[in-house]
Chains A and B, each alone.
Chain A
């Protein structure tokens, strides 16, 4: 089956720093989604991308749909304590309603 590899697996940063993470696929996707999961909760949708090259922002978060259609990137600017959590990328194959999720990037903010 499909695999989505996220990098890095974990990040330890100080409040105020910018964050970058990425997701790569073994096959082409026509949609990329980014989710955030906080402890004890289900993932929450942050950003959805539908077109190669698309750049979309949600507050301090910006995500990009890679032009090869096999990768996507998420950036967080000026991190704050509530950014802590696990960030997942997800995507479907063409014509398929099954979403595959990446293994996640765990973000920890050092006081």
Chain B
């Protein structure tokens, strides 16, 4: 009964370092999403995927890359982290526009 699982839960990076956030869902959903949440700004869409092998840009895609090699996994990559990418990152999967979220990854870039 896992739903949407995100790893890691916390991470601290130095400017310029790279990392990958992993999202896994066990609900067989076609759609998956990556959002970032910053104080006072709600949730902003970074990238999304409408099916295995597909990805598309959201509202704030710059500085991020994604891959959806398997239907159940959606990876978010930061190639060269910047302090502006300090945020809480949420992955979601869904159908009929009903999204189910993971519990988030707190990322700090120093």
Residues of chain A touching chain B, judged by Cβ–Cβ distance below 8 Å, are 1, 4, 31, 33, 35, 40-45, 48, 88, 90, 92, 97-104
Contact = CB atoms under 8 A, between A and B. Distances in A.
Interface string B15-40: 00000000000000001010100001
B101 A42 contact: yes
Contact of B103 (A31, A40, A90): A40
A44 B101 contact: yes
Nearest to A45: B98
Contacts of B48: 97-98
- Interface SS majority for chain B: strand
B92 interface: yes
A82 B92 CA distance: 24
Interface of B: 4, 31, 33, 35, 40-45, 48, 50, 56, 58-59, 90, 92, 96-104
A8 to B, nearest CB: 14
22 contacts: A1-B59, A31-B97, A40-B103, A41-B104, A42-B101, A42-B102, A42-B103, A42-B104, A43-B101, A44-B101, A88-B42, A88-B43, A90-B43, A90-B99, A92-B97, A97-B31, A97-B48, A97-B50, A98-B45, A98-B48, A98-B56, A101-B44
